[in-house]
Homo-oligomer: A and B are copies of this chain.
Amino acid sequence: MTRGYNFCSGPAMLPEAVMLKAQQELPNWRNTGMSVMELSHRSDEFVSVVSDAEARLRQLLDISDDYGVIFTQGGATLQFSCVPMNLIARGSGAEFLDTGAWSVKSIKEAERYGPVRVLASTKDKHYRHAVRAEDFQVSPDASYLHYTPNETIGGVEFNYVPESGKVPLVADMSSCILSQTIDVSRFGLIYAGAQKNIGPAGLTLVIVRKDLLGQTLPGTPSLLDYQAQIDQGSMVNTPPTFAIYLAGLVFEWLQEQGGVPAMQQLNEAKSQLLYDFVDASGFYRNPIDPVHRSRMNVPFILADETLNERFLAEADKAGLYNLQGHRSVGGMRASIYNAMPLAGVQALVTFMKEFERRYG
């Protein structure tokens, strides 16, 4: 079996150890005579899969009992609706920081549900840096402040947690959750699509401070009511059972690797290696303000863009997959989430050096 290094922004590479364990257990999980995806979601066995996954996540992120953990569906895109449906009625409207494509989507969707104010945007700076702490002030009666700690497409990452006072801070952590230590108690709500740092597409994670709930808008589907999901242990209906099982395996793998601090160290080493190489090169370039560069998604541009196709084709041959940038921005992008080993980034740098030597 030859597995390559997959730099896709999501669905992304998963740890090989997790893939092999899932493979081994697939048709007959723990001698139950069936696959984990064939277990009743209400069986003791599967309920233990969910509670084990939740316990591991709580340990990894040090989540207190003040917070509910929900395993749900629909990706961050559905959360763009769910967050205002559940929280916008608790204040005078939602406030946003706009740092790129995913911020914009979250803002547009929220506008359907109540007043929305964009406090600061780096759009006129071509999203080349994150919003700075001194550039906004949250209204004390705001329903919540929403931001995107890491913009997957632009490769822009906040290097601080925004101050929102008593206003709940809401973060779309789809592309950075579990990649660096965070203080969950600073947040009112964290959500993340699974397909980057957690598991397969089709699972979405919500971590929410329970005291914020209870003012859901009329017309909110029961499945999307956070309170109902917390009350029923993510089982308002049949949850995406196999995806939750895989997430549990990823959480276990993370614990074995030394948890989130070890991942943060690894992710800093990987991204530093790549940015240092790009910056030292006259052939590759990254346009983002160095203090706001993403440790998860590293976009770079070739000096000669006519070489793009050749770069991608040769990388592919070298087992370095999915380096094309997002279709909206072009260029290249290396997404280097938790499951990407240092050796993968080293192989990429070696390849990029050699490509530069031949075509630079």
Contact = CB atoms under 8 A, between A and B. Distances in A.
A27 to B, nearest CB: 4
User: How many copies are assembled?
Assistant: 2
Interface stretch (A1-9, A93-101, A137-145, A292-300): A1-9
Interface string A224-246: 10000000000011111111000
A6, A19, A109, A202 interface centre (most CB from chain B within 10 Å): A202
Contact of A11 (B4, B40, B200): B40
A103 interface: no
Given A200-B242, A201-B238, A242-B201, A26 B19 contact: yes
Interface stretch (A30-38, A128-136, A302-310): A30-38
A36 to B, nearest CB: 9
A74 B229 CA distance: 13
Given A33-B4, A322-B40, A11 B201 contact: no
A73 interface: yes
Taking chain A's interface residues, is the majority helix, strand, or loop, or is none over half, making it mixed?
loop
Interface range for A: 35 or more
Interface in A186-218: 193, 195, 200-203, 217-218
A313 interface: no
A221 B27 contact: no
A27 B322 CA distance: 17
Interface in A25-52: 26-28, 32-35, 37-43
Contact of A34 (B13, B202, B242): B13
Nearest to A31: B2
A27 B1 contact: yes
A81 interface: yes
A187 B242 CA distance: 31
B10 A28 contact: no
Interface in A139-165: none
A343 to B, nearest CB: 15
A112 interface: yes
A262 to B, nearest CB: 22
26 contacts: A3-B27, A3-B33, A4-B33, A6-B34, A11-B41, A11-B241, A12-B38, A13-B38, A19-B27, A37-B200, A74-B78, A74-B223, A74-B237, A76-B237, A77-B221, A78-B224, A78-B237, A81-B224, A82-B221, A112-B218, A193-B238, A200-B242, A202-B241, A202-B242, A240-B240, A240-B243
